[in-house]
């Protein structure tokens, strides 16, 4: 797939949500002598930039943020990918659609802040561009790690690769990429945030156990004395930030409950336990659905799968498995891998996800789901 050459003005003119900006592959030289600076970019943006939530936690809604806030956050991202011994990158290769807040900040605006060339496409197919630079940033979505593994020669041809990532839990391919690229070749910069809040926290690592998360410079904890309903010592992350979005016609909120369960380390850092709604108790056993999905993906021959928490009249919480299996896939080992027997197994033609890979709130199921795989013994009830 070729990249259409656009000037910065041609990129900014249609707006970040335009189909021609999201659905076509393009290349922009923000390092050109006549490329606009901060004032020129801000003048080309609407005073309020609109984004819609992905639908991963409920119906999609519209949120506004000022162009100044968007530009400020893009500057923070530029700082994150420029930190460390390798210094600022010389190029960006982006796969996150600008329609959504992550893509708008990282694919659309961050290269302008950095003043470097950017290549964008949302398609998985096609060759990686020759950036001509030793240190390159890839703005990734979940499936881009497997693309980088398929193009490992391109990765190792660079002096250094920084992968910027903001979505669900890192796929297993991310760890494989670090191993195959070799020591010190790839750095992962993870972002935690949402459409409603913008960026909240980040962490940077290149191997071993990932570090704790650190709040963005302008974000702070709002102390919440109430323990998380999921149990344990974790509490819901509640934050204050000057970049919080607002709904049309309503004021910016003073703080925001993120839906993330965390264990604070100190005044600026925390460990992420999981998402409210992604931690469930079945037969007294607490299960992190994101972690269990990763275990299942490594063991089940399938194109995609998802665990969905559901209510149960008798047990309160249960789990359904939605899977796009390869022909003849044996699901008999699912209960042992999951730790409990799922209520139902839905063999589906596809999993409904957002453009950045997040599981959508509503997952249509076939009229007749497959019976859940049986186990020889049921998991014991824990107190």
Q: Where are the domains of the chain?
A: 4-275, 278-383
Q: What is the pLDDT of residue 287?
A: 81
β-strands 269-275, 256-264: how paired?
Answer: antiparallel
Average pLDDT of the residues in 116-129 = 93
Locate 314 and state its tokens.
């008798």
The structure's pTM equals: 0.78
Q: What is the pLDDT of residue 312?
A: 63
Task: Count CA within 13 A, CB hemisphere, residue 344.
Answer: 15
Q: What is the pLDDT of residue 239?
A: 96
Locate 200 and state its tokens.
């909240």
pLDDT in tens, 291-346: 888 888 888 898 888 888 887 655 567 888 899 989 988 888 888 888 888 888 98
Q: How confident is the model at residue 206 (pLDDT cuts 50, 70, 90)?
A: very high
Q: In three state form, how does the secondary structure of 286-319 look?
A: EEEHHHHHHHHHHHCCEEEEEEEEEEECCCEEEE
309's CB contacts (< 8 A; 6+ apart) are: 277, 278, 280, 289, 317, 318, 319
Tell me if the domain spanning 278-383 has CATH number 3.30.300.30. yes
Please say if the pLDDT value at position 230 is more than 50. no
**Cβ 239 vs Cβ 220: under 8 Å:** yes
Please say if the pLDDT value at position 169 is more than 90. no
pLDDT in tens, 335-364: 888 888 888 898 999 988 876 677 775 666
**Cβ 303 vs Cβ 324: under 8 Å:** yes
Locate 107 and state its tokens.
């694919």
In the CATH scheme, what is the homologous superfamily, with its name and number, of domain 4-275? Answer: ANL, N-terminal domain (3.40.50.12780)
């Amino acid at each position: 797939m070729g990249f259409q050459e656009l000037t910065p003005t041609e990129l900014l003119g249609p707006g970040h949500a335009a189909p021609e900006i999201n659905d076509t592959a393009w290349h922009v030289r923000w390092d050109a002598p006549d490329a606009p600076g901060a004032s020129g970019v801000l003048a080309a943006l609407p005073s309020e930039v609109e984004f819609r939530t992905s639908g991963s936690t409920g119906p999609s809604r519209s949120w506004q943020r000022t162009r100044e806030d968007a530009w400020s956050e893009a500057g923070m991202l530029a700082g994150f990918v420029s930190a460390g011994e390798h210094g600022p990158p010389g190029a960006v290769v982006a796969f996150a659609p600008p329609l959504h807040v992550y893509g708008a900040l990282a694919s659309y605006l961050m290269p302008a802040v950095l003043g470097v060339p950017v290549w964008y496409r949302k398609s998985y197919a096609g060759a990686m561009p020759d950036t001509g630079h030793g240190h390159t940033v890839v703005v990734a979505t979940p499936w881009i790690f497997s693309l980088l593994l398929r193009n490992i020669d391109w990765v190792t041809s660079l002096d250094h690769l920084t992968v910027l990532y903001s979505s669900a839990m890192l796929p297993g391919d991310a760890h494989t990429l670090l191993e195959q690229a070799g020591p010190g070749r790839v750095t992962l910069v993870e972002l935690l945030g949402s459409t409603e809040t913008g960026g909240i926290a980040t962490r940077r690592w290149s191997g071993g156990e990932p570090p704790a998360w650190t709040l963005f410079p302008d974000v702070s904890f709002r102390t919440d004395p109430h323990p998380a309903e999921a149990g344990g010592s974790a509490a819901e992350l509640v934050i204050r930030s000057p970049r919080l979005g607002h709904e049309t016609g309503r004021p910016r909120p003073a703080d925001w409950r993120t839906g993330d369960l965390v264990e604070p380390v100190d005044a600026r850092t925390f460990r992420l336990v999981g998402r409210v709604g992604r931690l469930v108790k079945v037969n007294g056993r607490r299960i992190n659905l994101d972690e269990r999905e990763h275990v299942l993906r490594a063991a089940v021959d399938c194109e995609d799968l998802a665990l969905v928490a559901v209510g149960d009249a008798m047990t309160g919480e249960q789990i359904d498995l939605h899977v796009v299996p390869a022909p003849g896939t044996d699901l008999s080992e699912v209960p042992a891998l999951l730790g409990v027997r799922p209520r139902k197994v839905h063999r589906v033609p596809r999993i409904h996800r957002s453009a950045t890979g997040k599981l959508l709130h509503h997952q249509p199921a076939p009229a007749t789901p497959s019976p859940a795989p049986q186990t020889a013994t049921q998991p014991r009830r824990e107190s």
